[in-house]
Amino acid sequence: MNEELVGKALAPFKDKVVIATKFGFNIVDGKMSSVNSHPHHIRKVAEASLKRLQVDCIDLFYQHRVDPSVPIEEVAGTVGELIKEGKVKYFGLSEAGVNTIRRAHAVQAVTALQSEYSLWTRTPEEEIIPTLEELGIGFVPFSPLGKGFLAGKIDDKASFAEGDIRNVLPRYTEEARKANQGLIDLLNTIAVKKNATPAQIAIAWLLAQKPWIVPIPTDNGRLKGN
């Protein structure tokens, strides 16, 4: 459904935008269930996405999650075939580790990696970012605002809607939010000096790390009552 909406909205601008979409999950009743990156499934998803997006070629085709039952070399090879056929331009990975990235890149060049990275999530700096820089792979961080926390809108009294993933993540417990309030206070101080919002400062920090980092400027989840 989302791809159909995107396809209709961008139809007049297809030559002016880059469209990325993903494969790698079985969809049951409109919801993602188990991972599935078998070659026949990748091809099936590609054909369906081309139709829904109303394009002749998918600009960036991400594997949504690593499938432990399918060697990454087989996944990369299948996307490589789609690239040769003109149905896909570039290959991307999501939440893949260094070893997986290297193995995939050896078969088919990986153009972009999508993983969480923010002032609040710094683990990619240890191995992921150096590897991407070495291999010439772009980085597309999701949750650049820490799922809303870095925007300064969530304090220890906030509550989340039913089904919101933040209800089960340890860093979003009332105690953790209270303990991390100091980071928000610092962001607020900098934001006031720069005549900006805490969210703008958090995203500016990301953009300043590397010229090939392009964050997704939205965060999933909503507060109860929003």
125-154 pLDDT, tens digit each: 999 999 999 999 999 999 999 888 888 777
Please report which confidence band the pLDDT of residue 220 belongs to, taking 50, 70 and 90 as the band edges.
low
Q: Which CATH class is domain 1-116?
A: alpha beta
- The tokens describing 109, both together, are 């060049």
DSSP state at residue 149: G
Residue/partner pairs of 42-45 with CB below 8 Å, 24 or more apart: 42/75, 42/78, 42/79, 42/82, 43/78, 43/82
pLDDT of residue 192: 95
- Lowest mean pLDDT segment, chosen from 32-36, 71-75, 77-81, 220-224: 220-224
Indicate whether 46 pLDDT > 80.
Answer: yes
pLDDT at 13 over 80: yes
Contacts of 216 (CB under 8 A, 6+ apart): 114, 140, 141, 142, 143, 144
Neighbouring CB atoms inside 10 A of 44's CB total 13
